[in-house]
Structure 1
Amino acid sequence: MSDPLTIQPIAPEATYALRHKVLWPDKPLAYVMIAEDAAGHHFGAFQNGELVAVISLFVTGAEARFRKIAARPDCQRQGIGSQLLRHVFEEAQRLGATRIWCDARQDSAAFYARFGMQPEGEIFYKGPVAYVRMACAL
């Protein structure tokens, strides 16, 4: 039987391996590092003592942005990403944000829509991957 999932703050560096493995495995590790990482709030989801998913939150005044949500492939589609996203929405509100947004991979837009996020603007590309900005009020 699995231990319950716990979500806790982690160092930015602790997010890199999962970001790399899940989001951009064909790029160098440096590709998943964000210049603003030191100013962000980073969270890890842990199950049985192992880091299974990560997300990073950046709050500027009333606006929050989350980036680089990634779950280990064997832990996807189990509700872990949903728990992380709910946690980040609550944390953004606690930090004073009234709006939250992300640049979502287009194939994940339906996931974010379940949290009330709506597309804004045109589809754009990072390399071959289609993205759309998604946002909502908190």
Structure 2
Amino acid sequence: MSLQIVEIDAETALPLRHRVLWPDHPVDFSRVPGDESALHLGAYEGGELVCVLSLFTEGTDIRLRKFATRPDRQNQGIGSALFSAALDRARASGARRLWLSARASASGFYARFGLEPFGDPYFKETEPCRDMQIRLDQSLASSA
């Protein structure tokens, strides 16, 4: 099946976010302030939404939030394809940095894309987390 990556709205992303990330909480726990103005991307396979993420502009930075892949579709390259598309969008926007709050279990995934940890580790609910970032303007500066 072919993968289609498209812009979606927050309401389309919400059910998958909730089901994957915080199923034991109310749906509103998976909402984010600013959802209405963020860029939401979804990966569809066979007409089904299987992966979502959201990009929030914060000054000259872009923050990635609520990255969720349906459990039966994980480890199949779908999240990598969607994350690559998000990085491309962030670079094209002129942002200087993309950052995110990564669950410790996902830090290796982000490191493969060049993200590096910063700040101290912390917990969100019972999930160990770490902030990670990548400079988006380095490749532009080094090629000038």
TM exceeding 0.5: yes
Q: Which amino acid letter does the alignment assign opposite residue 132 of structure 2? A: M
Q: Which amino acid letter does the alignment assign opposite residue 79 of structure 1? A: G
Question: What's the counterpart of residue 45 of structure 1?
Answer: 43
Compute the displacement of 1:33 (Å). Answer: 0.4
Question: What's the counterpart of residue 52 of structure 2?
Answer: 54
Task: Tell me the distance in 1 between the aligned counterparts of 2:126 and 2:83.
Answer: 25
Task: Tell me the distance in 2 between the aligned counterparts of 1:62 and 1:25.
Answer: 33
Deviation digits for residues 61-106 of structure 1, max 9, x if unmatched? 3211100010111100001111111101110111111211000001
Question: What's the counterpart of residue 9 of structure 1?
Answer: 7
Determine helix, strand or coil for the equivalent of 1:27: coil
| Pairing 1:17-36 to 2, within 5 Å after superposition | 17-36=15-34
Determine helix, strand or coil for the equivalent of 1:85: helix
Deviation digits for residues 18-76 of structure 1, max 9, x if unmatched? 11110001000000001110110001000011101000001233211100010111100
Q: Which amino acid letter does the alignment assign opposite residue 130 of structure 2? A: V
Alignment identity in percent?
43
Determine helix, strand or coil for the equivalent of 2:52: strand
Task: Tell me the distance in 1 between the aligned counterparts of 2:67 and 2:10.
Answer: 13
Q: Which amino acid letter does the alignment assign opposite residue 108 of structure 2? A: A
Residue 101 (str. 1) matches residue 96 (str. 2): no
Question: What's the counterpart of residue 90 of structure 2?
Answer: 92
Superposition TM-score, scaled by structure 2 size: 0.92
Segments of structure 1 that go 5 or more residues without pairing to the other structure are none
Determine helix, strand or coil for the equivalent of 1:9: strand
Contact kept, 8 Å, 1:66 with 1:101, in 2: the verdict is yes
Task: Tell me the distance in 1 between the aligned counterparts of 2:60 and 2:88.
Answer: 13
Q: Which amino acid letter does the alignment assign opposite residue 118 of structure 2? A: E
Task: Tell me the distance in 2 between the aligned counterparts of 1:14 and 1:50.
Answer: 11
**Structure 1 runs, 4 residues or longer, greater than 6 Å off:** none
Compute the displacement of 1:125 (Å). Answer: 0.8
Segments of structure 2 that go 5 or more residues without pairing to the other structure are 137-144
Corresponding pairs, count: 136
Superposition TM-score, scaled by structure 1 size: 0.96
Question: CA RMSD, aligned part only?
Answer: 0.8
